Structure 1
Amino acid sequence: MNRTDRLYALVEELRAVSPRPRSARWLAARFEVSSRTIERDIGALQQSGVPIWAEPGRTGGYVLDRARTLPPVNLTAGEAVAMALALHRLGGTPFAASAAAALRKLVAVMPPADVAEAHRLAGRVHLIGDGPVTPVPAAVADAVLARRVLRIRYADRAGADSLRDVEPLGYLGNSRHWYLLAWCRLRDEIRAFRTDRILSVHPLAEAVTRELRPEDLDIPHDRVRPLSLV
């Protein structure tokens, strides 16, 4: 069991027996590690905000406050990123720190595989300013998540439309619009497609293997930032 899985399992073990304690020795035997490792793991969980405390005495051990924790949350990667984006809009308000803490707690109780997928998806979302309000077609969102090539009909700023096969790589959002960042096979380069100008979307079976690199964005780094789950 890797450390991420063990931290998750530790919380669930302590939640299952709460308010009874579990000793470091018992937990070490349960997870087949040393007591010292358990103590380090508990310390890491406490620093991340998990309400665990130590009860002294011969029958003491570590106790989790069930009233202040959540059971496993079955959020999908898309749902976690949606919450991160919604909470991002609270930046600059008196509730910004509380919003960030709430997101960390939700991510902490997600299964590790879902957390990894959510981080990958969040890394494909780039924001300038406070984020846009224009809609993103559902098929586009699905393709970015599933890493599938799209055939789109797109209207440029002059109103002329064209049919293109594109490899979705992520999103760019400013204060007004969402853009699909994709490798355009028609132009043979990365292009930004304003999502409200995408007239039709047809997902193809082909998988996207290309990755978006920071240097692919022709925008000063101090103006754009990736969405984060932490």
Structure 2
Amino acid sequence: MDRTTRLYALVEELRASAPRPRTVAALAARFEVSTRTVQRDLQALMDSGVPVRATPGRGGGWTVDPAMTLPPVRFTTAEAAALAAALAATETPYSGAARTAYQKLMASMTGPAMEAAQELAARIVALPPRTEPAVRDAVERALTDSAVLRLTYVDAAGRESDRVVEPAGLLTAGGRWYLIAWCRTRRAGRGFRLDRIAAAAPTGEPAGFHDLAALLRGSVAADAVRPAALSRG
């Protein structure tokens, strides 16, 4: 069993026994490797973000949170290549998460699927994002946590204004990304181009719910639809 296969199998072994912990010795016997190899594998899983953890003391051992992990997913070569290419080309928003997802995907594949994915990803280049990393991170957190955001925004005429907004979603159009939000300052739905947001800071206040489609109604983006890859079949 190669190491990539063993890492997958190790996570599944911990998922199957959760919440009961498994000792390093038991895992070593299960996979017919040394305890040192198991310890290195567990450390590699932790380093890659897999939620494995050790419980010390009598009756302790290693566990994984099954709610925070996914069972093995088998991709065709074409599917793996398409996913790798899409993740490799993602720049903003959520580009950081896309990069780590790409690394995990590539680490999980072997053989023709990995080679095809690497070959296709190598053909894709992307211009560096114009959005400041701090702004992008603040927008990502606000959307994920449904939190109110304070913005410094520069409009097309170069005028700067301070806004307090309640994020509703993201819109991509013409190669640009827009934060769609309820603007408390203007008391209306507004779209903010990410590369025109000069500063963004979370307020720590929970945002109210605002339907994305409702905020877009009456705008030039009223007919916007979810990307096919994100729509349920």
Select the structure that is richer in helix: 2
Q: Which has the higher contact order (CA 8 A, sep 6+)?
A: 1
In the superposition, the TM-score normalised over structure 1's length comes to: 0.50
In the superposition, the TM-score normalised over structure 2's length comes to: 0.49
